[in-house]
Structure 1
Amino acid sequence: MSTVIEQPVEARLVAAAPRMQNIPATLSYDRQDPFAVRMTFPAPATLEGVEVCWTFARDLLSAGLRDAEGHGDVRVRPYGYGRTVLEFHAPEGTAVVHVHTEEILGFLRATSELVPVGTECRQLDLDHELAELMRDAC
C-alpha cells in the first residue's frame, strides 16, 4: 500500500484582474508526516518561476471547509458556489486561491483511509526521531 497520496486540483487564482486565472496545483499527504498536507504550485504558476510548496495541518484544511480557520501563514474558509478559499501569506505578499470543495473532500477522504483522523501518532517512530535529534546535538 502506498504511503503517499497526491491529487491534482484546479485552483483559481484571485487577482485584481476581472477574470480569475486557473492554475494547476497538487495536494499531497505522506503517512510519514501524518499531521500535515502539502499544496504545491508548479513553477509556471508562480511569480518567481520556481515551484512553491506550502505545508500545513490536515486538521486546518478539514476545519476550513466549515468555518474560517487559521491565523498564520495559511488560512482556509468556505466560499459559496461549492468552493473553498485558501490564503497563503508570505513576506512577499498574499496569494488567494479558490478550489472546488469536492476535490478537497475527496482528498481528505483518501488521507483518512490511509491514516484515520485521531491515529496520526501511531504513524510516528518517536524513538527514531529522538535518536536523530540526539545525533544532531552532538
Structure 2
Amino acid sequence: MATTRPATVEVDTTMRFVAPDFTTINVRASMRYDQGDPYAVHVVFHPSNLDAEQVSWSFARELLATGLVEPSGIGDVRVWPWSTPRGDAIALALSSPDGNALFEISRSLVARFLRRSYTLVPKGKEPESLNVDSAVARLLAEH
C-alpha cells in the first residue's frame, strides 16, 4: 500500500505583537505551507474575539528563510533576526494601507516549519511543484 506525503505543513503558534513601547501581547496564529503554492507561506492571525475575521498574509518562503539569518524584504513584509529576553526570535513587520504591525516569533519554531516545508518541496525545486494550469484556473475563478 502506497502512502502519500501530506501536501501541506501547518503549525499553530502564539506570536507576540510588539507595541510601540515594546510591550507585547500574545496573538494566536498559524503558519501554513502548501505544496500547490510552492513559493509562498501563509500566516493567519486568529482573533480572540470570535466575531472578528481572521487576517491572512502570504509572502515568499525565501523571504522567511532569509529572515532567519539577516534582514529580508523591502515592501509590505519584512523579516529579521530578533533577540529577546525569552530567547532568539525573528521579527515579522507587516505594512498595509490600514497600518503597520510588528510581531515576534520563535526562531526555532520558524526553522522547524521551514525544514518541514523543504521536505515537501526542496529549495530550488518549486517550479516542479507549480501547477500552472491550476494556478491560472484559480486566478480566473476569483474574478
Q: Tell me the TM-score range normalised by the shorter chain.
A: 0.7 to 0.9
Q: How does 1:16-31 map to 2 (within 5 A)?
A: 16=20, 19-31=23-35
Does structure 2 conserve the Cα–Cα contact (< 8 Å) formed by 1:11 and 1:22? yes
Deviations 1:61-93 (A, max 9, x none): 000111111111100000113010000101111
Which residue of structure 2 aligns with residue 61 of structure 1? Answer: 64
Shift of 1:44: 2.5
Which residue of structure 2 aligns with residue 12 of structure 1? Answer: 16
Shift of 1:23: 1.1
In the TM superposition, structure 1's runs of 4+ consecutive aligned residues that sit over 6 Å from their partners are: none
Mark the CA change 1:77 to 1:131 in structure 2 (over 3 Å): closer, same or farther.
Answer: closer
* Inter-partner Cα distance in structure 2 for 1:5 and 1:55: 14
Does structure 1 conserve the Cα–Cα contact (< 8 Å) formed by 2:28 and 2:47? no
> Matched residue of 2:12: which SS?
strand
* Structure 1 residue runs without a partner (length 5+): none
Which residue of structure 1 aligns with residue 39 of structure 2? Answer: 35
Mark the CA change 1:18 to 1:64 in structure 2 (over 3 Å): closer, same or farther.
Answer: closer
Deviations 1:74-132 (A, max 9, x none): 00000113010000101111010000100000000000011100100001223x25874
* Inter-partner Cα distance in structure 2 for 1:131 and 1:28: 21
Which residue of structure 1 aligns with residue 119 of structure 2? Answer: 113
Identity of aligned residues (%): 32
RMSD: 2.2
* Inter-partner Cα distance in structure 1 for 2:54 and 2:136: 32
**How many residue pairs get matched?**
132
* Inter-partner Cα distance in structure 2 for 1:54 and 1:130: 18
Structure 1: which amino acid aligns with 2:35? Answer: R
